[in-house]
A = this chain, B = another copy of it.
Amino acid sequence: MIVQKYGGTSVGSAARIRRVSRRIAATVKTGEQVVVVVSAMGHTTDRLISLAQSVNEEPPARELDMLVANGETITAPLVAMCLQGLGVPAVSLSGMQAGVRTSGHHSRARIRDVKPDRILQALGEGMVPVVAGFQGVTEDLEVTTLGRGGSDTTAVALAAALKADSCEIFTDVDGIYTADPRLVKTARKLTHIQYDEMLELAAVGARVMHPRAVEIGELYNVPIHVRSSFNDRVGTMIVAQVPMEDRQRVRGIAQESNVAKITVVGVADRPGVAAAIFEPLGKAGISVDVIVQNVGRSGHTDLTFSVSESDLKAAVKLVKLATREVGGRVSSAGGIAKLSIVGTGMLGMPGIAGRMFRSLADAGINIEMISTSEIRITCLVRRDQVEKGVRVLHKTFELDRD
Contact = CB atoms under 8 A, between A and B. Distances in A.
A69 B78 CA distance: 13
A56 B70 contact: no
24 contacts: A14-B54, A18-B55, A21-B55, A52-B77, A52-B81, A55-B79, A55-B81, A55-B82, A56-B82, A59-B81, A60-B81, A62-B91, A63-B77, A63-B80, A63-B81, A63-B91, A64-B77, A64-B81, A66-B73, A66-B94, A67-B77, A70-B70, A94-B143, A96-B96
Contacts of A64: 77, 81
A97 interface: yes
Interface in A382-400: none
A67 B63 contact: no
A76 interface: yes
Interface of A: 14, 17-18, 21, 48, 51-52, 54-60, 62-64, 66-67, 69-70, 73-74, 76-82, 84-85, 91-92, 94, 96-97, 141, 143
A84 to B, nearest CB: 5
A85 B54 CA distance: 11
A59 B81 CA distance: 6
Max chain B C-beta neighbours (<10 A), residue from A56, A76, A85: A56
Interface SS of chain A: helix
B73 A56 contact: no
Contacts of A62: 91
Contacts of A59: 81
B91 A55 contact: no
Given A78-B55, A85-B57, A70 B67 contact: no
B97 A81 contact: no
Nearest to A62: B91
Contact of A52 (B66, B78, B143): B78
A97 B69 CA distance: 15
A96 B21 contact: no
A195 to B, nearest CB: 34
A67 B96 CA distance: 15
Contacts of A94: 66, 143
A51 B63 contact: no
A74 B81 contact: no
A332 B364 CA distance: 92
Contact of A66 (B54, B58, B92): B92
Contacts of A143: 94
Contacts of A77: 52, 63-64, 66-67
A82 B52 CA distance: 8
A277 B79 CA distance: 42
A67 B78 contact: yes
Nearest to A90: B63
A83 B49 CA distance: 16
Given A21-B55, A51-B78, A78-B52, A84 B60 contact: yes
Given A66-B77, A66-B80, A67-B77, 16 more contacts: A48-B74, A51-B74, A55-B79, A55-B82, A60-B81, A62-B91, A63-B78, A63-B80, A63-B81, A63-B92, A66-B76, A69-B73, A70-B70, A70-B73, A96-B96, A97-B141
